[in-house]
Structure 1
Amino acid sequence: MGLNPINLAQSTKRIYEQNLGSWSTQEFLPMGCLENEETGATFLWQIENNGSWYWEVAESSELMFPTVKDHNLMITNDGNEISGEIYFVLSGPTEWESQWHKSLKPGKSFITVPTAVSVVNGGFEKAVVEMTKYRRKIRRPNKDNEKLAVIFNDYMNCLFGDSTTEKLLPLIDAAADAGCEYFCIDCGWYTDTNWWAGVGEWKPSAQRYPGGIEKPIKYIREKGMIPGLWLEIETVGFDCPNIDNIPKSWFFRRHGKIVSDQCRYPLDFRNPEVQDYATSVIDRMVNEYGVGYIKMDYNINSGIGTEVDSDSLGDGLLEHNRAYLAWLDSIFVKYPDLIIENCGSGGMRMDYAMLSRHSIQSSSDQTDYIKNAAIAASCATALTPEQCAIWSYPLSGADPEETTMNMVNAMMLRIHQSGHLATLPANQFNLVKNGIEVYKMIRNDIKEGLPFWLTGIPKFEDPWFTFGLECDNCAYIAVWRISGEKILNVPLKEELQKYQHVEPVYPQNTLDCAYINENHTISFLLEETKTARIFKLY
């Protein structure tokens, strides 16, 4: 896997990752890290594009730079040759990897995809801290990332896209009682049949909501919460009631044919008519239905791009991606307090082209709360904690520890509450309610906290893992014991050694404990496996 010195004259070895299509994070995040173990210097980068991207680490060679005299790139500022040094390339779409090229006419220009590099004397975690600071600086100013509102969404391990007024009303009661501040009705509200292929017209189902969807939306407001709806504005389904009236020029096209994926057509946002249509849908959601939150999903990958009015397929995709971002900017100008969640089948578009606009990101559609714990504990490498929505979905009648772990998964980030709260036994419901109460007490710290990991970045197979946030005068640390021995001893990082005390934060009546030793080691005692706790260091 490494770069080994085989031939002094040249090297054709590279280490690289890439993404192809409109799911920017379908397999890998648009990130990488290069650490010099001898000097301690670490370079952490992110590519800010909501589509295809490419990065490469390799060795510079005389093959790349034939003569010192003719190629200034071979000379450093002090006059030394750089042949034989390690370089990295950060890029949006490329010709070889993503079928992108663009021909510039005289007087025209092209702006490349933005990238950011965090450079530190230290390891990966210190580089993540600096990247977190940068991400907060480039993000659109918004009230949501100041308040960190608690959202209930009826999808995950709950209604799964089959909402009705009858099913919603008790859930709305329970969510309000638990302390949720937004209530989002997820997919399916616009069709009586196949919610997947029926996207596109965005008019409520009369069968699901007798008397109109306005009834449950009004009830959400009466209960003191702000209503939300699910949308997938960038696609039109095969079963959309209005499909025959949509101009074919709205769609991606390759090899002379309209592009489709999984019973849906991707829309081309370079077309002004598409943007007008999308804006009219948002207008209706906000002005007619009274929605203050939109879960904006994106469940297909449009592929390598479109041949319509483009120099290459990749050029068509990149221009569409940028047109979508411009449209999104216009919506936030028009409705600055509207929260639009960035969701792409969970976290398939978790990049900072999108997250410089969106205040909240769906991290995953993982249905297993144990696996979701490892995802939650790792997510701050990819985005700021206050933007990262994590599902909490306790199942009725389950062990109370399952409810506790579901809450711990979300409480250091953004609570995306779900599950059948209306049917939870009282002991489980009280754990949810208490978790939300505690979250509201610590969320002002979360929005400024900087991440750390006492046990390293988690892996699914780890017996224990941790995730912490260092704040102004304290630190919070979530601890999960999945398996293994009941005591975890781990040294405190130097920046945390100023703290001498530790106390449980959630659940508040736990008998499990943590204590700091004289040698700056912290010990956690969790009696049972598949348990999780939150502690405060001060």
Structure 2
Amino acid sequence: MIEVRDNFFHIQTANTSYVFSRTDSGLLLHNYYGPKVNFLNFDNVRQKLEGGAGTSVLYEGEENMHMDLLDLEYSTIGIGDFREAALALFNPKFSPSASFKYQSHEILEADSSALPSSHGEAEVLRVTLRDAVLNVRLELYYKVFPETDVISRYAKLVNESEETYSILRFHSAQIDFPESDYVMMTFMGAWAKERHLVEKELKPGIYINDSKTGGSSNRANPLVILRKRNTDEGQGSCYGFNLVYSGNHKTTVEVTPQQRLRLLTGINDHAFNFTFAPKDVFTTPEAVMTFSASGLNGLSQNFHAFVNNHIVRGKWKNKIRPVLLNSWEANYFNFDEKRLLKLAKKAKEVGIELFVLDDGWFGKRNNDTTSLGDWNVNYKKLPHGLKGLAERINRIGLDFGLWVEPEMVNEESDLFREHPDWAVRVPGRKPGLGRNQMVLDLTNREVREYLVNKLKEVFSSCNLKYVKWDYNRNITDMYGRTLENQGEFFHRYIMGFYEIMEELTRSFPDILFEGCASGGNRFDLGILCYFPQIWTSDDTDYLERIYIQTGTSYGYPPSAITNHVSDVPNHQTLRVTPLSSRFNLACFGNLGYELNLMELPKEELQEIKMQISFYKSRRELFQYGTFSRGERSIFSDNCAYFYTVSKDKKECALGFFQGLLHPSPKEDIVYVKGMKEGTYVFRNRLEKHNIKKFGGLINYVSPIRIKVGGRIHNFISRVYKIKGEQEVYRVNAEMLEKSGIRLFSQFAGTGFGSKVRVLGDFGSRIYLLDKEDNSEN
């Protein structure tokens, strides 16, 4: 709901209020953002500066308008506000200063942004401002999503002058807070360790979360959270901000000596200089913001509901996703059709639904130094082509999916030899290489048209149900041969990418597209407008994935997260972890496998078959349930737990995930919120233990001496498994939320038995909650 009263604008969602106002002179002032308030009037949230402010500058000499202290709705430079500004324009004939004043406002039923953006908004507020000297119009947009407690914002500049300006900075949103007692949460990392939580207690100064890589990056995700210092997962106030954009982004948080706080978010002004000619219109990406008074889980749930209902679109919106097998770690580049079909048959036996052929199917692609750009089938590997392979995969009973990396090119490729000018590089300078490849220039229309036509040819050549779209290097040597202004390269590249995806998703609406960028190097809301799910990380190691999936969950729902069970030793860390733990963690999202089923022992194949059957039986719960993190986090403890509650609040799955086990461990107590009133049965999914887990301890109970690793030991391990503990509790919703469940103690050298959990290093459990009359299912 949008209410305009007494020069105040009051935007309301189900649980939040956002208030700003206009002065008689046309300034927009920010007044309030937080829990929903029924305002009798707005005097209580009007900023009071009658006491003066020393050397501050008064806006146009107006009394009490101390620009450096005012909470502004949108800021520019040169008019007395010396904090970081939201907008900077330049023309050598004019002062760098700008002063945009209120002209009008309008409440719209729907939005029409030129960029990929959210959909399904209830209302849109457009506020129009103008700088009479520059003759430039500024439009601020506010989209309202009441049920998810989200307000999104973007801005538009319209050049009504006869002058050409340079846009040096143009942020999507700004919020000025009157207090600064917040902790800033960002999600940083690198390849194979994406979105690790980093917290900074704010002091006076400037804090920046940004990407300069050309993509949203694995270094610093666009997601930023401000929480009060006493806020935790279950209680307290917090604000979340994200950006519907896949390119360079920047969020600036500035704390002043007066303990005021300004947040700016939008396109990064790094290497950004956009020509703004007469009649030009420039629109920023959409910034998404939400507030929760019920802790970080409440904030994440707002984001999750928003992504599922207002970002993802098309056939795969709120639809369950298939269980897949990806061929990469089973084969790398070394495969042929016969080998793939054997793998597919084994995949069908264990319950896989989708077979994905990864890298190596095209050109002379036998390693990563060649053939990117040559999207023609390698008939030596696939004598029947993609069509023939897909038909054979379909006859086995599986859908067929394919890997591509269209934005890249190898120097050793036919495409590069034909069109060396299509690669991004500075004329006269030897380009840098990343992963033995260069980037194709998507600012060039000819390149975009080639890619669209070639990919349409590939995608329509067979019965294709899934595409994994990779992006394996960052952008350097940025130069577009068709651009007049190279300061526009980064933004125009992303806009070119969106143009390609708009056409391909429209042409192939039934294909499930999955985003990938060396794992999570481009994991953002812009990607999710076209790719309903994203490969979370190239790192499939169980322990590292606890960190990665926990960090990702703060802003992105399980339905957007793809997790694969891979082989051990893990191909990224060489760590050996239990198959059960790799599966248990992968359940919380879209499940896949990435290992050579042909080489697994029978007992592991049987275990995988049971895993997939279990996952399918609760797939909707794992992908679309209401997700919460427990108070114990891997970022501060040796374990973590999180859980997902069904839409009807009658079912729950909880995962407990341990890192290293230490002697005399802390007692494990789990709490669950959000269940409907009623009686439930809480129980663990049964596990069995291989006796090899206990090493020489077998001789503590064996009547005869057994040599560890000997024939008898190996024989027993093949034919006999020790049953794990079975925990069963009869509980109600109040018990789950308030008193929790004290789990069986862990084995740590003593006390093994039927009421002891044997987890050890990297152990885990899944616990299930069902209505009492449904607990046997």
For the aligned pair, the TM-score class normalised by the smaller chain equals 0.7 to 0.9
Aligned counterparts of 1:495 and 1:60: Cα–Cα separation in 2:
39
Q: Deviations over 1:240-287 (max 9, x none)?
A: 133221261x33243665855323221122323222221233223222
RMSD: 3.0
Residues 223/38 of structure 1: CA separation in 2 closer, same or farther (3 Å cut):
closer
Q: State the Cα distance separating 1:213 from its structure 2 match.
A: 4.8
Does residue 218 of structure 1 match 2:391?
Answer: yes
Residues 311/507 of structure 1: CA separation in 2 closer, same or farther (3 Å cut):
farther
Task: Using the aligned pairs only, state the percent identity.
Answer: 18
For 2:279, give the aligned amino acid.
G
Does residue 502 of structure 1 match 2:734?
Answer: no
For 2:448, give the aligned amino acid.
Q
Q: State the Cα distance separating 1:299 from its structure 2 match.
A: 0.5
Aligned counterparts of 2:607 and 2:55: Cα–Cα separation in 1:
64
Aligned counterparts of 1:361 and 1:410: Cα–Cα separation in 2:
14
Does residue 411 of structure 1 match 2:561?
Answer: no
Corresponding residue SS for 1:23: coil
Corresponding residue SS for 2:450: helix
Q: State the Cα distance separating 1:347 from its structure 2 match.
A: 0.7
Does residue 105 of structure 1 match 2:105?
Answer: no
Aligned counterparts of 1:144 and 1:424: Cα–Cα separation in 2:
35
Corresponding residue SS for 1:386: helix
Q: Is the 8 A contact 1:489 1:524 kept in 2?
A: yes
For 1:47, give the aligned amino acid.
L
- Residue equivalent to 1:58: 254
- Residue equivalent to 2:240: 44
Q: Give the counterpart of 2:352 among 177, 180, 187.
A: 180
Q: State the Cα distance separating 1:114 from its structure 2 match.
A: 1.4
Q: State the Cα distance separating 1:210 from its structure 2 match.
A: 4.1
Q: Is the 8 A contact 2:316 2:512 kept in 1?
A: no
Question: TM-score, normalised on structure 1?
Answer: 0.85
Aligned counterparts of 1:160 and 1:14: Cα–Cα separation in 2:
45
Q: Is the 8 A contact 1:55 1:88 kept in 2?
A: yes
- Residue equivalent to 2:565: 392
Residues 131/192 of structure 1: CA separation in 2 closer, same or farther (3 Å cut):
closer
Q: How does 1:10-409 map to 2 (within 5 A)?
A: 13-37=205-229, 40-60=236-256, 84-94=259-269, 98-136=270-308, 137-143=310-316, 145-156=318-329, 158-190=330-362, 191-246=364-419, 248=421, 250-254=422-426, 257=429, 259-262=431-434, 263-303=436-476, 305-310=478-483, 313-395=486-568, 402-409=578-585
Aligned counterparts of 1:503 and 1:124: Cα–Cα separation in 2:
27
Q: Give ranges in structure 1 of 5+ residues lacking alignment.
A: 1-6, 62-82
Aligned counterparts of 2:328 and 2:499: Cα–Cα separation in 1:
29
Aligned counterparts of 2:686 and 2:452: Cα–Cα separation in 1:
43
Corresponding residue SS for 1:143: coil
For 2:769, give the aligned amino acid.
L
For 2:578, give the aligned amino acid.
E
Aligned counterparts of 2:525 and 2:575: Cα–Cα separation in 1:
38
Q: State the Cα distance separating 1:523 from its structure 2 match.
A: 2.7
Q: Give the counterpart of 2:727 among 490, 495, 513.
A: 513
Aligned counterparts of 1:399 and 1:365: Cα–Cα separation in 2:
15
Aligned counterparts of 1:365 and 1:196: Cα–Cα separation in 2:
19
Residues 302/22 of structure 1: CA separation in 2 closer, same or farther (3 Å cut):
same
Q: Deviations over 1:45-89 (max 9, x none)?
A: 11222111111111357xxxxxxxxxxxxxxxxxxxxx7521211
Q: State the Cα distance separating 1:124 from its structure 2 match.
A: 2.1
Q: State the Cα distance separating 1:318 from its structure 2 match.
A: 0.7
Corresponding residue SS for 1:206: coil
Q: Is the 8 A contact 1:220 1:226 kept in 2?
A: yes
Q: Is the 8 A contact 1:507 1:534 kept in 2?
A: no
Aligned counterparts of 1:135 and 1:8: Cα–Cα separation in 2:
46
More helix by share: 1
Aligned counterparts of 2:404 and 2:561: Cα–Cα separation in 1:
19
Q: Give ranges in structure 2 of 5+ residues lacking alignment.
A: 1-53, 57-67, 69-82, 84-203, 689-722, 745-756, 771-777
Corresponding residue SS for 1:501: strand
Aligned counterparts of 2:417 and 2:250: Cα–Cα separation in 1:
38
Corresponding residue SS for 1:30: strand
Q: Is the 8 A contact 1:102 1:311 kept in 2?
A: no
- Residue equivalent to 1:527: 758
Corresponding residue SS for 1:115: strand
For 1:531, give the aligned amino acid.
G
Q: Which has the higher mean CA deviation after the structures are superposed, 419-428 or 135-144?
A: 135-144
Residues 312/123 of structure 1: CA separation in 2 closer, same or farther (3 Å cut):
farther
For 2:638, give the aligned amino acid.
P
Q: State the Cα distance separating 1:309 from its structure 2 match.
A: 4.7
For 2:631, give the aligned amino acid.
T
For 1:91, give the aligned amino acid.
G
Does residue 433 of structure 1 match 2:609?
Answer: yes
Does residue 489 of structure 1 match 2:665?
Answer: no
Aligned counterparts of 1:378 and 1:84: Cα–Cα separation in 2:
29
Q: Deviations over 1:347-375 (max 9, x none)?
A: 10001110121012100111433322432
For 2:643, give the aligned amino acid.
G
Q: Is the 8 A contact 1:30 1:53 kept in 2?
A: yes
For 1:174, give the aligned amino acid.
K
Q: Is the 8 A contact 2:424 2:477 kept in 1?
A: no
Q: Is the 8 A contact 2:375 2:454 kept in 1?
A: yes
More strand by share: 2
Relative contact order higher in (CA < 8 Å, ≥ 6 apart): 1
The number of aligned residues is 505
Q: Which has the higher mean CA deviation after the structures are superposed, 178-187 or 511-520?
A: 511-520
Aligned counterparts of 1:462 and 1:443: Cα–Cα separation in 2:
29
Q: Is the 8 A contact 1:47 1:116 kept in 2?
A: yes
Q: State the Cα distance separating 1:25 from its structure 2 match.
A: 2.1
Q: Is the 8 A contact 1:252 1:258 kept in 2?
A: no
Q: Is the 8 A contact 1:23 1:349 kept in 2?
A: yes
Question: TM-score, normalised on structure 2?
Answer: 0.60
Q: Is the 8 A contact 1:48 1:113 kept in 2?
A: yes
Corresponding residue SS for 1:337: coil
Residues 305/112 of structure 1: CA separation in 2 closer, same or farther (3 Å cut):
farther
Q: Is the 8 A contact 2:211 2:248 kept in 1?
A: yes
Aligned counterparts of 1:400 and 1:301: Cα–Cα separation in 2:
31
Residues 256/433 of structure 1: CA separation in 2 closer, same or farther (3 Å cut):
same
Q: State the Cα distance separating 1:488 from its structure 2 match.
A: 4.2
Corresponding residue SS for 2:562: strand
Aligned counterparts of 2:554 and 2:614: Cα–Cα separation in 1:
24
